[in-house]
Amino acid sequence: MNRYLVQRLGFVLLGLTALVVVIPILLVVGTIVVRGITAISWEFLTAMPRDGMKAGGIFPAIVGTLLLTLGTALAAIPVGVGGAIYLSEYARDAWLTRAIRLAIINLAGIPSVVYGLFGLGLFVLFLQFGTSILAGSLTLAIMTLPIIISAAEEALRAVPTEFRTVSASLGGTRWQGIRNVVLPQALPGIITGVILGLLRAAGETAPILFTVAAFFLPRLPQSPFDQTMALPYHLYVISTQVPGMPLKIQYGTALVLLVLVLSMNVIATMIRSYFRRRRQW
């Protein structure tokens, strides 16, 4: 075979693999959009569920997912970014630091249902938060932490050492250098990591299963100690636990979850490119 033929063949094969990746995504999104779009109405988005969830809307589930994501962000961002700053800027390369890094990498590989059980044990039972938004958010936050820490640490390390040296040479303390020079440059990367983590949290079912999610609760939560419905769990419930559920509502719920997650993604990308543009050097 001459090398031009090999080149051609390689091109075609690699193109096919790319296509194989795209096809399932298009099929999944396409099916959900086509079958779910008819369910979408003002009532579906803003009303409480009725008739054993077979009619009405999914408003409490939407609000619940937004609240859980917000709670996760509040808990995970400060801890995650703070931890990343410590690991990247302050920690010496000792065995303890390496052990912490290894632990973080391994945390990312733990199945989400294990986080759910951990949250049940620690937050719901031991700390007596009950099944509540607080317990659910904290559980999701712990699951999200490794993603945020790894991405943020990566982004901080990508800032050349020389910037820290210059800041120090101008009489800056280590923190002043981090605050004024390193963090602004690492921000787009940090935001990306935060968003990836939060998106995963927003779509997870297992961690909220035992810690916060309500099967059927046709009212909005009043405090962080209330249970709430949430989209992923609601989808699981109406797909498997309720006989005679109209297919339209199932696909409609899936579509709402999809759009919610994707629009968060888009907003995140916009924030990121805003900070990239503002970078003035």
Q: Which residues bind another protein (CB under 8 A)?
A: 92-93, 162-173, 176, 180-181, 184-185, 279-281
C-beta of 165 vs 240, nearer to another protein: 165
What residues contact residue 279 under an 8 Å CB cut-off, 6+ apart? Answer: 184, 185, 188
CB 276 to another protein: min, Å: 12
What residues have CB less than 8 Å from 178, skipping those under 6 apart? 85, 89, 164
Of 175 and 215, CB closest to another protein? 175
**Three-state secondary structure of 58-103:** CHHHHHHHHHHHHHHHHHHHHHHHHHHHHHHHHCCCCHHHHHHHHH
Which of 219, 279 has the CB closer to another protein?
Answer: 279
Q: Please list, in sequence order, all residues whose beta carbon lies within 8 angstroms of the beta carbon of residue 232, skipping any fewer than 6 positions away.
A: 65, 202, 203, 204, 205, 208, 257
Pure H helices in the chain: 3-36, 42-46, 59-85, 95-107, 112-119, 133-157, 161-169, 174-177, 183-203, 206-209, 231-240, 247-278
Spacing of C-alpha 220 from chain mean position: 23
Among residues 130 and 184, whose Cβ is nearest to another protein?
Answer: 184
- Residues 148 and 194 sit within 8 Å (Cβ to Cβ): yes
The smaller minimum CB distance to another protein, of residues 91 and 113, is found at: 91
Minimal distance, residue 162 CB to another protein, in Å: 5
Show Cβ contacts of residue 163 under 8 Å, excluding neighbours closer than 6 positions.
177, 181, 182, 185
* Residue 267 CB, nearest approach to another protein (Å): 24
Nearest approach, Cβ of 3 to another protein (angstroms)? 42
Terminal C-alpha separation, the chain = 50
Q: Which is nearer to another protein, 169 or 240 (CB)?
A: 169
Query: Which of 157, 181, 148 is closest to 81 using CA atoms?
Result: 148
CB of 163 to another protein, least distance (A): 7
- In terms of CB distance, is 1 or 94 closer to another protein? 94
Provide, rounded to whole angstroms, the least separation between the CB of residue 174 and another protein: 8
Both tokens assigned to 188: 């787009």
Q: Which is nearer to another protein, 153 or 226 (CB)?
A: 153
Least Cβ distance, residue 183 to another protein (angstroms): 10
